[in-house]
């Protein structure tokens, strides 16, 4: 089983990929730059409480299905394992600086019935900002691993993702955001090469895709 294996990730030996999403930093292991053929991917979401765990699992399943592979719960029959692990969460204080907008004086002069008329209109100044608020921030680590001949577990791809939510965002929503962003980066990195014409064997229960 995948869960019984120890996987060592040496990011210093992996190759940095071009990340289109600034929230995602991804790397691919040397030797896997051309991707790997995969038909079924098991999903493991760790250290994220419910409902964030289930929501993130479903989001990853939807994204993998869109790539042409089958997400499965039975990891013993999977070709690869995609792991998402929460590694940090905190509140970040945002400082909205105080800005003074000065007032304006508008002077208009015109002639009326032989007289020179001068009108003065003043708009008062005002200030904005000058307050603080807290927003949630979460960080997750992702790995894509597969079993090589001899039982060795190879880490093919890895990523760290950090996102911030709105002031009242819930942690579960941040988890889903990280899952979606990272799965899309995995697709952009072209690591997973789907096996076409897959015939699903018995005993494997695919994760359903969201309609």
Domain count, the chain: 1
Indicate whether 209 belongs to any domain: no
What pLDDT was estimated at residue 113?
Answer: 82
Indicate whether 77 belongs to any domain: yes
Indicate whether 118 belongs to any domain: no
What pLDDT was estimated at residue 74?
Answer: 62
The domain spanning residue 153 has which CATH number?
3.30.160
Q: Could you tell me if 172 and 51 are in contact, meaning their C-beta atoms sit under 8 angstroms apart? A: yes
Indicate whether 155 belongs to any domain: yes
What pLDDT was estimated at residue 49?
Answer: 93
Indicate whether 102 belongs to any domain: no
What pLDDT was estimated at residue 201?
Answer: 41
pTM higher than the cut 0.85:
no
User: What is the Rg, in whole angstroms, of the alpha carbon atoms belonging to the chain?
Assistant: 27
Sequence-ordered alpha helix ranges (H) in 47-88: 52-67
Indicate whether 62 belongs to any domain: yes
Indicate whether 112 belongs to any domain: no
Rounded (to 5) percent helix, strand, coil in the chain: 20, 45, 35
Q: Could you tell me if 146 and 84 are in contact, meaning their C-beta atoms sit under 8 angstroms apart? A: no
SS3 (DSSP) at 90: strand
Indicate whether 177 belongs to any domain: yes
Q: Could you tell me if 133 and 108 are in contact, meaning their C-beta atoms sit under 8 angstroms apart? A: no
What pLDDT was estimated at residue 211?
Answer: 43
What string of pLDDT tens digits covers the 211 residues of the chain? 333 333 333 333 344 444 456 789 999 998 888 888 888 999 999 999 999 999 999 999 999 999 989 998 766 678 899 999 999 999 999 999 999 999 999 999 988 888 888 888 999 999 999 999 999 999 999 999 988 777 788 899 999 999 999 989 999 999 999 999 999 999 999 999 887 644 444 334 445 544 4
What pLDDT was estimated at residue 20?
Answer: 54
What pLDDT was estimated at residue 179?
Answer: 96
Structural domain of residue 31, as residue ranges? Answer: 9-94+132-194
Residue among 80, 74, 84 nearest 24 (CA): 84
Q: Could you tell me if 207 and 61 are in contact, meaning their C-beta atoms sit under 8 angstroms apart? A: yes
């Amino acid at each position: 089983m995948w869960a019984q294996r120890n996987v060592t990730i040496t990011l210093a030996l992996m190759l940095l990929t071009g990340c289109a999403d600034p929230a995602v930093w991804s790397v691919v292991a040397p030797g896997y730059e051309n991707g790997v053929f995969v038909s079924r991917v098991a999903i493991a979401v760790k250290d994220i409480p419910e409902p964030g765990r289930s929501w993130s699992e479903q989001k990853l399943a939807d994204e993998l299905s869109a790539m042409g592979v089958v997400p499965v719960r039975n990891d013993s029959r999977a070709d690869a394992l995609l792991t998402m692990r929460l590694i940090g969460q905190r509140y970040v204080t945002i400082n909205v600086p105080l800005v003074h907008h000065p007032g304006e004086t508008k002077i208009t002069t015109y002639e009326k019935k032989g007289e020179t008329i001068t009108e003065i209109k003043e708009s008062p100044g005002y200030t904005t900002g000058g307050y603080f608020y807290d927003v949630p921030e979460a960080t997750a680590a992702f790995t894509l691993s597969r079993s090589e001949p001899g039982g060795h577990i190879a880490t093919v791809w890895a990523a760290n993702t950090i996102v911030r939510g709105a002031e009242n965002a819930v942690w579960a929503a941040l988890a889903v955001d990280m899952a979606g962003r990272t799965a899309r980066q995995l697709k952009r990195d072209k690591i997973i090469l789907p096996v076409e014409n897959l015939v699903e064997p018995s005993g494997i229960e695919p994760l359903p895709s969201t309609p």
